[in-house]
Amino acid sequence: MIKIQGYRRADKRFGLRNKVIIIPSVHCANKVCELIAKKCPGAVYINHQHGCSQLEFDALQTARVLIGHGTNANVFAALIVGLGCEVVQAKAVANKIKEECPYKEVEYFNIQESGGMQKSVEKGVKIVSAMLDEALKMPKSEGDFSDLILGTECGGSDSYSGLSANVALGALSDFIIDEGGSVILAETTELIGCEALLAKRAKDEKVAQKVYEKILGYEEKVKSFNADIRGANPSPGNIAGGLSSIEEKSLGCVYKAGTRVLMEVIDYAMPVLSKGLTFMDTPGNDIEQLSGMVAGGANICVFTTGRGTPTGSAIVPTIKMSSNTFCFENMNDVIDINAGKMIDEAKSKEELRDELIELIIRISQGELVKAELNEQNDFSIYRLAVTC
């Protein structure tokens, strides 16, 4: 087993980071969370546009994604800030995080009850500063690749994505699964046309049926709006990069998942409970997908791109791998690994896989990926219905 360093939680889950996160339960609390984080170096925060004026099922989905960020193994402690009159209440989010992870320090308060913004910021700074002090006291532990839950993603894809970066990522997915770890395949819209290929890999007929239900159901949902997924997916950038259809994009996208058995199909942002490969039903939207995988428990992500994107999570190291050398050189301040070497230098997928493995080891030892250096804290929730 390859050894890595991290933070072993009381429930045996393993974090590669030890973050203190500030979470707004509603968009009205975004600015307070941001101001608290700016006054507390080392803390991270997320912003979003949800939490109120939502139908019940959308409010539940919002809460699930927020709770999942608080319970993620990369998080040491969480502060939830609400306004006070919203649908998704800070107290409820905090209590659920504490229920699922009783060993974590979780606090909450509402701006209305605290006397406004300035007093709320002062209160939050005091809470978060104490959390950071405690986080610094936690020693690192030894783990291995069986502790990883790898989130896989591709965005800004091009015609090389299915020939280099996604193939190399697939080799990493197989390696992590063989080591006893977990891998998430997502982006349901970018699996349209590949449902039969994925279903063949299902562990049983029940899982295979779920594959068809999720992928074909997504396509039917788009049609019910009298819309055509083409134009939105593949996007103009995908088309400029050489992809002609959603099926062509899907055939490259599915390589990220490697070749191992598909163990489970789960809904958006639900926890990953199975070892091996799990298919999470998410949109193709990069940030909605990333937030869903992180909420589901991903503690490391690899994001392949042919066009380039700075996207990253506030709490999960997001490795960026380009499918071509031009992208790597053109956007070098956001790309970590160049899979274009498979095209230009005839490097094998195993050689690129090993580069990823070595980078993950260094990440576990404290090295920051470029999304972390750039302080990317992208966060977005897949919304199901209209605003009320």
Tens of pLDDT, residue by residue over 148-164, are 999 999 987 787 888 99
pLDDT for position 26: 98
Task: Write down the pTM of the prediction.
Answer: 0.95
Cα of 157 vs its chain's centroid, Å: 18
CATH numbers and ranges of domains, the chain:
3-8+16-136 (3.40.50.2300), 148-373 (no CATH)
Give residue-wise pLDDT tens across range 234-267: 556 666 656 555 666 666 688 999 999 999 999 9
Give residue-wise pLDDT tens across range 268-320: 999 999 999 999 999 989 999 999 999 999 999 999 999 999 999 999 999 99
Give residue-wise pLDDT tens across range 66-115: 999 999 999 999 999 999 999 999 999 999 999 999 999 999 999 999 99
Answer yes or no: is pLDDT of 233 > 60: no
pLDDT average, residue stretch 172-196: 94
Per mean pLDDT, which range of 180-184, 213-217, 293-297, 356-360 is the poorest?
213-217
Q: What is the number of other CB atoms lying within 10 angstroms of the CB of residue 2?
A: 14
d(CA 93, CA 98): 9
pLDDT band at 229 (very low <50, low <70, confident <90, very high): low
pLDDT for position 114: 98
pLDDT band at 129 (very low <50, low <70, confident <90, very high): very high
Largest Cα–Cα distance of the chain, in whole Å? 63
Average pLDDT score, the chain: 93
pLDDT for position 280: 98
